[in-house]
Structure 1
Amino acid sequence: MPKTADASEIVHTIAEETNTPEETVARIYADTLNEYRAQARIQDYLPLFAARKTRATLRQNGTKPH
């Protein structure tokens, strides 16, 4: 199993879970991942953390999962 999941799979999954357009999820995910990469010394789990924050951001903005 690879260290990190494919970003397009992560975006697709979050989009389905939150009923949000993939373009919106991709933008939020990429912005979050870039923020984390700029600050982190250890980067192994950044995609996981970025995915969690993306989901949380979408939920805070009123997007409800199915």
Structure 2
Amino acid sequence: MPQADVAQIVQTIATETNTPEETVARIYADTFDSYREDARIQDYLPLFVARKVRATLREKQKSRH
């Protein structure tokens, strides 16, 4: 996946969740690496990773309140 696409995904998630881009980028990279290890087909990885990152950040926000 092109780096520009990843940057756009990270920026969008950061804006949606009011989370620093650096934090989102780290979670995204860690999640992507984890998912890539087991994926036989990688076409939809960015979609699944973005979904997981959003869910992770929502859970963290819930636990703060």
TM-score interval, smaller chain: 0.7 to 0.9
User: Following superposition of structure 1 onto structure 2, how do residues 38-49 of structure 1 map, counting pairs within 5 Å?
Assistant: 38-49=37-48
Q: Could you say which residue in structure 2 is the equivalent of 1:20?
A: 19
How many residues align? The count is 60
Q: Residues 17-56 of structure 1, C-alpha deviation per residue, up to 9 Å, x if partnerless?
A: 0000000000000000010100100000000000000000
**TM-score normalised over the length of structure 2:** 0.87
Q: Aligned partner of 1:56: which letter? A: A
| Structure 1: gaps of 5 or more residues | none
| Structure 2: gaps of 5 or more residues | none
What's the RMSD between the two structures over aligned residues?
1.7
Q: Which has the higher helix share?
A: 2
Q: Aligned partner of 1:21: which letter? A: P
Identity, in percent, stands at 72
